[in-house]
Amino acid sequence: MTLVVDIHALQSVPPSLINRDDTGAPKSAIFGGVARQRVSSQSWKRAIRRYFEENFDAETIGDRSRRLPEKIAKLLEEKGVDQAEAVARVESLFKQAGIKVAMDKPSKKNEEA
């Protein structure tokens, strides 16, 4: 006979903005004979990312790769490159590498300021 040990960690979370189902009711599950609210793994991951951002130095944690093009463009701007030129250079760089990039284009409003 095989012994199976199933361990679950119950963690409390604030009741606001809990994930909702298609009827608008908070998602729930029966666990331990008690109805409990469910929280998606996406919600937990975001909470963990925010915890790390608030409690660790920025140099010691990673960053989302989708923000990389904007960060590179910002660094170019800090070196004196025009915003439109910086965006064009970054898009060209990623295009040559075969990576699709969706960057915000500088608006007319930003150019006039």
DSSP conformation class of 55: H
Specify if 11 maps to a domain: no
Number of domains observed in the structure of the chain: 2
Shared domain for 56 and 69, answered yes or no, is no
Nearest residue to 16 (alpha-carbon basis) of 41, 39, 45, 42: 39
**Where in the sequence is the domain holding 90, given as residue range(s)?**
65-106
Question: Does the residue 22 lie in any domain?
Answer: no
**33 to each of 6, 29, 30, how far by Cα in Å?**
16, 10, 6
Question: What is the chain's pLDDT, residue by residue, as a tens digit (113 residues)?
Answer: 888 887 777 666 655 556 777 888 877 778 788 887 777 778 788 888 888 889 988 888 777 777 888 889 999 999 999 999 999 999 999 999 998 887 766 565 555 54
69 plus 95 within the same structural domain: yes
Q: Kindly report the CA angle at 102 between 48 and 60, in degrees rounded to 5?
A: 30
Asked, for residue 23, whether it belongs to a domain, the answer is: no
55 & 70 share domain: no
